[in-house]
Structure 1
Amino acid sequence: MDNSELLQGLSDEKAAEYLRIDGPNQISSVNKFSGFQILLRQFLSPAILILLITAVIYGSLGNAHDALILLAIILPSGLLTFIQEYQAEMTMNRLRARLSLTVKTIRNGEEREVPSEELVRGDVVLLKPGDLIPADLILISGDSLSIDEAALTGESFPRRKDAERSDELFMGTHVVSGIAIARVVRTGSRTKYGELAERISGASIETSFEKGLRNFGGLVARAILILVILVFSGNLILHRPIFESLLFSLALAVGLTPQMLPVIISVCLSSGARLLAKKKVLIKRLDAIEDLGTMEILCTDKTGTLTTGELTLEKAIDPKDKENERVALLGFENALLQTSSANSVDDALLRTNLILPKRKKLSEINFSFNRRRVSVLTEDQELITKGAFTEVINLCKRVRVDSAIEDIGPWHTRLLAQNKRWADQGYKVIAVATRSNVETVDENMEREMTFEGILLLNDPPKEDAKDALNKFHSLGINVLLITGDSAVSAGNIAQVVGLDSSQVVTGSEIDQWDDSKLLNVLQNTKIFAEIDPIQKLRIVTALRHSGKVVGFLGDGINDAAALKLSDVSISVEDAVEIAKSASSVVLLEKNLMVIADGVAIGRRTFENTVKYVRITISASFGNVLSMALASFFLPFLPMLPTQILLLNFLSDVPALAISSDRVDPEDLGHSRRWHMKDVGHFMVFFGIISSIFDILVFSVSLSLFDATPEELRSTWFATSLITEVLAIVILRTKRSVLKSLPSRALLVVCIIVTILALTIPGLGILQIFGLPRVGLKYFLLVLVLSTGYGLLTEYAKRSTHLNL
């Protein structure tokens, strides 16, 4: 098959056939679950399995009543968590679909965009700078093509690819410069990248949120183990039946387990994801929301964030500061002919729509972030170079003054002053130079050139940039400006938008420092100019090694390495594919304000998750501690296993609404992390307060009222349920309850559960669980002790120095 046939691409029918045979072009790095898998997962969790086994044991011993009661608790709990997790999974699937990679291909002889997953062998793919290689390809044709293969080989320098050698391009690598047409030869797990991924079992980096959850799980596991051993052993010593003692101990263990924690986290994070999407922030994984909330430093470029992001060519001037059409035309022609990179400078030049005689391009010397310039060779052997002022002027031996060519020596100081003067006014300065009679092109030909003049481009500050930076300040986040532009330009913009511009560090200075010196400078510097990709990487590395949670906003090829290393990697929807691929957060518009909104939502999500943890564990610990102690001193079990499980289920219902709860402004003003020591102290302190009122229930019911076991259980059940609801309402905020009311959803659910709790002793609606109706004195006891608990807990919260 010759190239002309290849360039027709596949037919839709052939593509569909190959897709059916080979399957989708994907190496799944994200676990996607079907509805059935999510449902099955709910009933295979350790807590639910314990309950199912217990129900089977009850049934096998002829106690069908208690077995059915257990199943009546298990099924609603499992279905409720299934609904919440299924909705969270569907939310993430919709967001992933919006962020899926598309590839430009030729099918039926026409160019079209197709999802990367639908790419098949034989497809013809069109590539440009910044594109990810979507499968293993054979190069058909290319122009100045360089590929970064570091993701596959570890080599730091891009490799040139040649169609004449039928070079291969490998999935997972990306285009640094040039354009190409290539044919797909392998997809999915059959690619070299896919084979490598299947052989290597790499552990993912544990986030601070995941580490906190793991530590919390360890804390609960230790408490459960100690509790079960003590209670089971104590009841055996008291000659209680082994089976009854075991079931009671297991019920206490389940009662202390925060069964709803996985679903609470899913609900909180998926709710946060939906809120972020409304703010035009898309996330690629749910825990990226927590990453946003813990961010302490944001590294950002100025283009499109602090500025409007649209450069405009204001002037093209010669060395005598006169406007010069030739300089403009040369800059425009270089932008028109070069194919090594898409950038905002060339976009600005091309929008001028200048008319010039058409010349073909013979060759090109690609732009790179080390060279900071690009050269094209035209058919009449003129080399046109455009780039950073310092890079271009160092190549020049001559200067064009009016129509004459003069030695650059006498002009050198004047040209440097000209560059500084315009840069000081906030312009981006691009120099243009030429050389005639160039037959072959390589970097050695960029010498003895003629300096033609400079292009002055302007990118004004955004109107809301200052407000956005103020919002970051209110959130306790330090913003660093990291740009490839000149120190003067960066300093000017920083001053306008309110960043501290008293000290500006350049890339050349960073190269002279070791990591220790760099870290010291980072403590007091906010502006970094003339920075290349390696220097960006060093800045992010140094910040992370200092223990900071670092966010990085980037949209170019030069940002990819820093994005991959940062804790919070942020890109934009129209970024190059390699930048988007390296990001966990994607903005639909490049705006610092939406990132600040995302941080606030991330912190709200984290706060509401931690609310559930500390409130539930302290309330459960108090109740379970009381039951364990009471079981040693009472001649009967203070609460039956089925009643413990029912209490645990009902008290978790209000917790589901915590994901929608309000968060106090002071809790959003700083980054927070898990502290297991604080959680442990909180659990014991407020758990003991809960136990005090449990003991009062025992004492008054048995000593003053001479209660039967059933009357005590009914009274205590109602009191425990109400005090757990009060714990949610009171301990959800550091403020007075009256000054920080719960969200409407949480308040409504709490009221409903409280009414239900009062009807248990008042009307006996749960007699099937062994909770009968009791006399008025018991009902009043529930009201008095619940009120006392609420008042004491509110007082203790405001008096203690425990970290809430």
Structure 2
Amino acid sequence: MMFKNFTSRLLTALSRNLPRRLVRRDPMLENVPGRAAQAVPAAMAAHCQACARATEDQLYLQFASHPEGLTAQEADAIREVSGLNQTGDQQPAPWWLHLWHCYRNPFNLLLTVLGLVSYATDDLTAALVIGAMVFISTFMHFIQEARSNKAADALKAMVSNTATVLRSDAQNGRSETAEVAISQLVPGDLIKLSAGDMIPADLRILSAKDLFISQAALTGESLPVEKHAWEKKPIAADPLELNTLCFMGTNVVSGTAIAMVIATGSKTWFGQLAERVVQEDTQPNAFQAGISKVSWLLIRFMMVMTPVVLVINGYTKGDWWEAALFALSVAVGLTPEMLPMIVTSTLAKGAVKLSRQKVIVKRLDAIQNFGAMDILCTDKTGTLTQDKIVLERHTDVLGVTSDDVLHLAWLNSHYQTGLKNLLDVAVLEAGDASGAHNSLKVDEIPFDFDRRRMSVVVAENDQNHRLICKGALEEMLSICTLVQLNGEIVPLTDVLLGRIRRITDDLNQQGLRVVAVAHKVMPSRTQGYGVTDESSLILAGYIAFLDPPKESTAPALEALQRKGVTVKILTGDNPLVARKVCKDVGLRAETVLIGSDIDVLDDLQLLHVARETTVFAKLTPMHKERIVRVLRGEGHVVGFMGDGINDAPALRAADIGISVDSAVDIAKEAADIILLEKSLMVLEQGVTEGRRTFANMLKYIKMTASSNFGNVFSVLVASAFLPFLPMLPLHLLIQNLIYDVSQVAIPFDNVDEEQLAKPQRWNAGDIGRFMVFFGPISSVFDILTFSLMWWVFKANTVEAQTLFQSGWFIEGLLSQTLIVHMIRTRKVPFIQSRASWPLCIMTLMVVVTGIALIYSPVAGFLQLQALPLSYFPWLIAILAGYMVLTQCVKGWFVRRYGWQ
């Protein structure tokens, strides 16, 4: 059981370095039977129900708030009592608990047991060395994780989400809006909500308009739930069913609201669940699955070889106690105890380096997935294009310029209170505000991704209201029955419909994005308007937008292709526009698959089509998520880049979710990587750094696996023929300790360009094959060293065993250090590929330390002795032969199996 939990503990330790996402890739309650309410105390439910019943005045009194909002001073005072708005799993662990977690891995526990056994048998020297190994492993892991935590916190601060809060000015009593970090919210704060916002705390709605909340993270319900400022039914026993409450961890799908914070941090519904439910990832990502396989490969090898060493030494030497200690020492030598530290420091170094390239890493293990990514799915707008949309045309239905159409579009964009996108900004910049004073907003019907349109209702006089609607052409045509043509209102006939489609298709083929504008006049009324009122509209015309491709897009796509990354475009835009933009940037787009085509395909059929299709258009959020999932199901490592509400499901479904700092809250929370610059060229740099990070992690595992296998093979041969142990347990421990220290520099090593040219993924089978081929090479030269010490230097009796053991100690340490340079590259080391200066210095220190040790005053204490100078020419010849043979085998291995 101790070994079985190693992988999960390692990944848990890594995850402590990461900013926690409010919305997890897997819902928190996925493995919990029943609804979330069952895991929350009755007091919490009673608090929610009381807040739902309370009037606005009662809420202001209860939370010492005001209709204008809290002042900054009041908020600070409340925060002193309530604390930061952070759940328990977001709080940093105290240093002593962090230190315990760094120590508590199976490898350190094994070393501790061996140290206690040595101490109990009065072998104080061995106990001291083992204690030093445990201390160094734990301390270095602790330091690296502390530095990683600090770096991760600094990166997280660069992209932390904010909430729009009403702040009261104590001097003049007026209310102003301010963007406040979510962690700074306090009970009593009034916040504004709009589409795309995360719910940052538990809230009571004070006013709302068409507010729909996705509660899937808490309840598992896929459909959004409408929320109101009053209860439409009796107070429910389950607070999650209350109409007036919103809970941390959910998000706004559409609509607007003003709400009061009623609970923060661990006192929220989400925070209470976080303390009572153990989160288990049911579907590990590519990095987690890969490192689990590799760890188990090494553990299985250790568990098989250690008993073999025990039996052979016990049977041949007759001293089973000494054989047991030696076997345990071999087990320590086979154990990659530095793996947690190497993985943590390598990932942390990669995250800091990426931050200099304007790439912020929220989850450290996403770096390796970045490098392993072989398919990138991305939206079109702002990624391929400049994200600077310009209103190019405003015409009637026949394509003639029309100021009336522009005025209607301007009123629609001006009065909507939901999420204003770049199209609205372009309309407002191009339109004229002079006519706004003649109308008064009455109501609005917010945008959603099913209707793909939004409406506002304005009062032009006391008798009539005008509904103005704009949206995607097909969806608009489905609700229009009349057309405004040359100042007259005429029916929308099939002939006219065909003419409209030809005109708009021509605009699309020019790369213009077409939005239809329609309206109708209705008698004024007091009740609100809804989707049912969007019918029998009059089509007024179109507004057409130009979003030209970026100059950097074509070379970035070419660079990604050279790196082995296939780019697929997943957009909700018109297929003609998508094809035109892709053609302009050199992206193959002969066929375009649209959302309605996807609906009639099962997953297997969609997979076959998705393999060959580059451009997908007119997609809903669920279409994007489904495409990502079927590509992942085939074994691809899929990245998804998006910044809108409609991108959140696909961001969560991908191996690596990528968003930008200007994205909506829900997209940033769902992403693993945040780009401070929305550019594919930045992505290409991130992919390269991800592969460099992975390559350095893989070096350590290759070196450790092959070197350890060779050592064990040599031990088995020597144990079968020598009348004494080839090396004392203490010698093995010291050798392993010195070697482990040298590995600290691996995260800073250089990586050959060839290793950055294609996606890199964990492959336990390749590592096992590598271990079997390269491990025995060192054993060949170990056996030569045995022969040298036995016949040349006459260390062939029990009395001369110290000389024999000292000779193999030096040769084993130097060959183990040399293998670092041989295996770190497929090229000729030192000539075609040079290690970084930190790694060179560390390996040189190992050589100097090892040789100095046998000539130092402590040599006798360690049961070693000085070697004659005539030994070293032999040693140089053995090491030179080792290098030549390894290089020859490496060339054959690369031709036969490749080099990861």
TM-score (norm 2): 0.85
SS in structure 1 at match of 2:430: coil
- Cα distance change on mapping 1:106 and 1:31 into 2, 3 Å: closer
Question: Share of identical aligned residues, percent?
Answer: 38
1:212 pairs with 275, 290, 300, which one? Answer: 290
The answer to whether the aligner puts 1:177 opposite 2:254 as a matched pair is yes
Cα distance, 1:352 vs. partner?
2.4
SS in structure 1 at match of 2:284: coil
Structure 1 residues 115-148: Cα deviation after superposition (integer angstroms, max 9, x where no partner): 2223222221111110011122111112332222
Contact 1:759 1:765 in 2 (8 A): no
- Cα distance change on mapping 1:514 and 1:212 into 2, 3 Å: closer
**1:369 aligned partner:** 449
**2:511 aligned partner:** 426
Deviates more, 1:383-392 or 1:114-123: 114-123
Matching of residues 273-672 of structure 1 within 5 Å = 273-352=351-430, 354-357=432-435, 358=437, 359-380=439-460, 381-409=465-493, 411-439=496-524, 441-672=529-760
Cα distance, 1:473 vs. partner?
0.5
**1:266 aligned partner:** 344
Contact 1:150 1:173 in 2 (8 A): yes
Contact 1:145 1:178 in 2 (8 A): yes
The CA distance in 2 between the partners of 1:436 and 1:211, in whole Å, is: 60
2:873 pairs with 780, 783, 787, which one? Answer: 780
The CA distance in 1 between the partners of 2:357 and 2:349, in whole Å, is: 13
Contact 1:573 1:587 in 2 (8 A): yes
Contact 2:201 2:268 in 1 (8 A): yes
The CA distance in 1 between the partners of 2:553 and 2:884, in whole Å, is: 46
Contact 2:88 2:275 in 1 (8 A): no
- Cα distance change on mapping 1:155 and 1:214 into 2, 3 Å: closer
- What amino acid is the match of 2:503? Q
- What amino acid is the match of 2:415? L
Cα distance, 1:759 vs. partner?
4.1
Contact 1:104 1:114 in 2 (8 A): yes
The CA distance in 2 between the partners of 1:7 and 1:730, in whole Å, is: 71
Contact 2:657 2:670 in 1 (8 A): yes
Contact 2:317 2:724 in 1 (8 A): no
The answer to whether the aligner puts 1:749 opposite 2:842 as a matched pair is yes
Structure 1 residues 718-762: Cα deviation after superposition (integer angstroms, max 9, x where no partner): 111111122111111222222222223222322332343444567
- What amino acid is the match of 2:206? I
**1:704 aligned partner:** 792
Moved over 6 A (4+): 762-765
Structure 1 residues 149-187: Cα deviation after superposition (integer angstroms, max 9, x where no partner): 232333333233222437111222211222211011222
- Cα distance change on mapping 1:47 and 1:421 into 2, 3 Å: closer
Deviates more, 1:6-15 or 1:412-421: 6-15
**2:819 aligned partner:** 727
Contact 1:682 1:802 in 2 (8 A): no
**1:45 aligned partner:** 105
Cα distance, 1:63 vs. partner?
4.0
Contact 1:299 1:481 in 2 (8 A): yes
**2:299 aligned partner:** 221
The CA distance in 2 between the partners of 1:523 and 1:315, in whole Å, is: 37
2:278 pairs with 180, 191, 201, which one? Answer: 201
- Cα distance change on mapping 1:782 and 1:341 into 2, 3 Å: same
- Cα distance change on mapping 1:198 and 1:79 into 2, 3 Å: closer
Contact 2:661 2:676 in 1 (8 A): yes
**1:736 aligned partner:** 828
Contact 1:116 1:134 in 2 (8 A): yes
The answer to whether the aligner puts 1:161 opposite 2:233 as a matched pair is no
- Cα distance change on mapping 1:434 and 1:730 into 2, 3 Å: same
Contact 1:305 1:592 in 2 (8 A): yes
The answer to whether the aligner puts 1:789 opposite 2:859 as a matched pair is no
- What amino acid is the match of 1:698? F
The answer to whether the aligner puts 1:125 opposite 2:205 as a matched pair is no
- Cα distance change on mapping 1:231 and 1:760 into 2, 3 Å: same
SS in structure 2 at match of 1:180: strand
Deviates more, 1:307-316 or 1:117-126: 117-126
- What amino acid is the match of 2:268? T
The CA distance in 2 between the partners of 1:642 and 1:668, in whole Å, is: 41
2:324 pairs with 246, 255, 259, which one? Answer: 246
SS in structure 2 at match of 1:769: coil
- What amino acid is the match of 2:483? V
Cα distance, 1:28 vs. partner?
4.4
SS in structure 2 at match of 1:754: helix
Deviates more, 1:62-71 or 1:296-305: 62-71
- What amino acid is the match of 1:148? S
Structure 1 residues 291-339: Cα deviation after superposition (integer angstroms, max 9, x where no partner): 1111121111111110001111112112343322111111111001112
The CA distance in 2 between the partners of 1:75 and 1:412, in whole Å, is: 78
The CA distance in 1 between the partners of 2:365 and 2:744, in whole Å, is: 19
Deviates more, 1:63-72 or 1:169-178: 63-72
Cα distance, 1:798 vs. partner?
0.7
Cα distance, 1:82 vs. partner?
2.8
The CA distance in 2 between the partners of 1:449 and 1:70, in whole Å, is: 82
Contact 2:88 2:274 in 1 (8 A): no
- Cα distance change on mapping 1:66 and 1:341 into 2, 3 Å: closer
2:165 pairs with 77, 80, 105, which one? Answer: 105
Contact 2:317 2:723 in 1 (8 A): no
SS in structure 1 at match of 2:394: strand
RMSD in angstroms over aligned alpha carbons?
2.3
- Cα distance change on mapping 1:103 and 1:647 into 2, 3 Å: same
Contact 2:137 2:337 in 1 (8 A): no
Cα distance, 1:492 vs. partner?
0.3
The CA distance in 2 between the partners of 1:514 and 1:242, in whole Å, is: 63
The CA distance in 2 between the partners of 1:564 and 1:77, in whole Å, is: 35
The CA distance in 2 between the partners of 1:463 and 1:798, in whole Å, is: 42
- What amino acid is the match of 2:349? S
Contact 1:690 1:723 in 2 (8 A): yes
The CA distance in 1 between the partners of 2:535 and 2:121, in whole Å, is: 94
Contact 1:715 1:761 in 2 (8 A): no
Structure 1 residues 186-229: Cα deviation after superposition (integer angstroms, max 9, x where no partner): 22343333344445434113223222322222222222223322
The CA distance in 1 between the partners of 2:695 and 2:789, in whole Å, is: 38
**1:139 aligned partner:** 205
Deviates more, 1:658-667 or 1:480-489: 658-667
Contact 1:177 1:339 in 2 (8 A): no
TM-score (norm 1): 0.95
The CA distance in 2 between the partners of 1:617 and 1:283, in whole Å, is: 30
Cα distance, 1:425 vs. partner?
0.6
- Cα distance change on mapping 1:231 and 1:113 into 2, 3 Å: same
Cα distance, 1:605 vs. partner?
1.1
Structure 1 residues 665-693: Cα deviation after superposition (integer angstroms, max 9, x where no partner): 22222223222222222212211111111
